[in-house]
A and B are shown apart, each in its own frame.
Chain A
Amino acid sequence: MSERILMCGNEALAEAAIIAGCDAYFGYPITPQNEITAYMSKRMPEEGRVFVQSESELAAINMVFGASATGKRTMTSSSSPGISLMQEGISYLAGAELPSVIVNVMRGGPGLGNIAPSQGDYFQATRGGGHGDYRTIALGPSTVQELVDCMPLAFDLADQYRIPVVVLADGILGQMMEPIVFNKKPRRSLPPKDWALTGAKGREQNIVRSLWLPEGSLEKHNYKLQAKYQQVQKNEVLCEQYEVDDAEIIVIAYGVAARIVRSAVKKARQEGIKAGWIRPITLWPFPTMQIAKAADELSIFLVVEMSMGQMVEDVKLAVAGKVPVVFYGRAGGGVPSVDQVLEKIKQLTIPVKKQ
């Protein structure tokens, strides 16, 4: 399948997961991602693979846990409140070092909030989300095409590092129709799944667990996890940069917010303002180095999010006080407009020019 076709984000990511070799999908209904479950319910059986509508998100993530333990590629999807429920399971997946892909089509929060688009789950996705010292890889695509390209990457990263990978989308990306191509890229060469529960014929038994009781053993396990996370940080950062070299101001945004920023920055350039953008694609690992480097050259950063300010903390850590970092965001389903972002860019750059 390499011709361009028109699909909504939710269905496109589901098809991309199937192409990436997802063997089993488990999910529980929640808006705004029900199209994923509906699509999987038809396509997975057609492919001779497993689809289950579970009785709750807790069941779904634990089915993922079980399927992953057998070495199969597995995923679930939900939206914010459902993802919160899954956090215990995600922590165990991280502790047991099992691969899995978790799609969060974010909605407004906290609590039940609403079903409008939001980026309020950034902290949850990039800090581990559940209990204990762990990270999940978090991907933040901004177009339907990128969402489609994220899925095989997510499965590969999950298998390569034996880690849960979270794909963060939102209601807009999930529902919007865009032309896409299902690119068949060569897979990474991945390590054999010699840890999987496949029957212990002719070998030692495998044990899946996250419990480490003997003195010192859990600390050792944590060091092992941290070493792995350092490898991820070193090797897997993805971000997009635009007109950064001569920029006075750089706007940082991810996901749907980055689409708005892109238009605002281009307008600013037309008006003679030296603006650029950096768009993290991996939210964890975060493009800390890229932002730190830019901080040496320019005078101000603007961070735009559909939240009250979460990624801005990572930007501040990267900038380390070298230049000001200003935040503009809207929450609870509010979406910043191109004009609002442009206005902000102007406010921040005009005084700089006068100096």
Chain B
Amino acid sequence: MDTEISNMADIDIAWCPGCGNFPILKILKQALTELTIEPTNLVMVSGIGQAAKISHYLKANVFNGLHGRALPAATAIKAANPALTVIAESGDGDMYGEGGNHFLHTIRRNPDITNIVHNNMVYGLTKGQASPTSQIGFKTPVQVAGVFLEPFNPLAVAIALNASFVARAFSGDAEQTKEIIKQAVKHKGYALVDIFQPCVSFNKLNTFEWFKKNSYYLNDSHDPSNRNEAFKKATENGPFPLGIFYINQDNNSFEENIGIYQENQKPLYERDLDIGKLKSLIETFIVAK
């Protein structure tokens, strides 16, 4: 399908040739086109990093904020205007390291947003330090003797927190990744898509071939409503399962839970100032003489 609608005019894309971010950009544009999401209605929210640059590379409303802090901003953007499609997209260091606390609490809050994480198991932009998802033994100019920390397991954490949608994909597999992203965007509630992405410049361990060899798709018998099974799958330490691990339809979204939309569906940003209400509010502060 033609993704013309989300293409930018001539832009300089500052990724290394052969980087796994290119296919993710292409797949995302394809998915959005097939879902007929208009750029005017899309907000791409990102933090800082190579992955986080993606918000600048497709046609959308762009919020490029602080390192690690895309999720709180995305939550607020969605709350102010629930009609928008909001995608928070960054790298593994950004979302799971610097932003790790926001990751936990956004899952608990359950805003209706899609959280795409380009997981290259390294800090790309700062030139190759270990990230929270780096594998044990991974050597870098900083982790000279190799990583010895237990890798962060975003899927297991999300399922433990009863997240509403949890999936993993691989940038090297366009068709399946596109389908997963489409499901995630359509899903009501917080949706995590962790995407294995080779960094050709700074991760010589987790290469395209490595990801290919060390991953497999969950088979059709996998029941995404079975939380225990999903958790078990998420803790598999290689080969790593790909696909939709877990879907929890039970919880209301954050926008549904906060009072503001229960009686009035009008997005916050469109609401006029209620002068009468303001007046009575002010009057409660005026002490009668």
Contacts and interface: CB of A to CB of B under 8 A. Distances in A.
Nearest to A34: B126
Interface stretch (A37-45, A117-125, A256-264): A37-45
B97 interface: yes
A27 to B, nearest CB: 9
B225 to A, nearest CB: 33
A56 B127 CA distance: 16
Contact of A55 (B97, B126, B141, B145): B97
Interface residues of B, number: 19
Contacts of B68: 56
A29 B129 contact: yes
Nearest to B100: A55
Most-contacted residue by chain A among B97, B132, B145 (CB, 10 A): B97
B100 A31 contact: no
A49 to B, nearest CB: 14
Contacts of A38: 141-142
A42 to B, nearest CB: 6
Nearest to A41: B142
B167 to A, nearest CB: 24
A42 B140 CA distance: 11
Contacts of B130: 53
Question: In the complex, which of the residues B68, B126, B142, B143 has the most CB atoms of chain A within 10 Å of its own CB atom?
Answer: B142
Nearest to A81: B67
Nearest to A35: B141
Nearest to A30: B126
Contact of B143 (A28, A31, A53): A53
B123 interface: yes
A56 B123 CA distance: 13
A41 B123 contact: no
B273 interface: no
Contact of B144 (A28, A30, A41): A41
A53 B132 contact: no
Tell me the dominant secondary structure on chain B's binding face: loop
A55 B144 contact: no
A44 to B, nearest CB: 11
A230 B100 CA distance: 41
B48 interface: yes
A112 interface: yes
Contacts of A41: 141-144
A45 B146 CA distance: 13
Interface in B92-131: 97-98, 100, 123, 125-127, 129-130
Contacts of B141: 38, 41
A56 B143 contact: no
A121 to B, nearest CB: 17
Interface string B211-250: 0000000000000000000000000000000000000000
Contacts, number: 40
B97 A34 contact: no
A212 to B, nearest CB: 28
A88 B213 CA distance: 45
A200 B138 CA distance: 41
Contacts of A37: 129, 142
Contact of B127 (A28, A34, A81): A34
Interface in A45-89: 45, 53, 55-56, 81
A37 B144 CA distance: 12
B100 A29 contact: no
A55 B101 CA distance: 11
Contacts of B132: 55
A223 B68 CA distance: 38
Contacts of B97: 55-56
A226 B47 CA distance: 40
B126 A29 contact: yes
Nearest to A38: B141
Interface in A8-28: 28
Query: Which has the most chain B C-beta neighbours within 10 Å: A28, A34, A55?
Result: A55
Contacts of A34: 126-127, 129
B163 to A, nearest CB: 21
Given A41-B144, A55-B97, A112 B48 contact: yes
A53 B48 contact: no
A28 B66 CA distance: 15
A77 B100 CA distance: 21
A41 B127 CA distance: 15
Contacts of B67: 81, 112
Nearest to B141: A38
Contacts of A42: 144
Contacts of A81: 66-67
A327 B66 CA distance: 32
B126 A53 contact: no
A81 B81 CA distance: 30
A328 to B, nearest CB: 32
B98 A56 contact: yes
Interface in B46-61: 48
Contacts of A56: 68, 97-98, 100
B129 A53 contact: yes
B129 to A, nearest CB: 5
A131 to B, nearest CB: 19
A38 B127 CA distance: 11
10 contacts: A28-B98, A29-B142, A37-B129, A37-B142, A41-B141, A41-B142, A41-B143, A42-B144, A55-B132, A112-B67
Given A55-B132, A81-B67, 5 more contacts: A37-B129, A41-B142, A41-B143, A45-B145, A56-B100
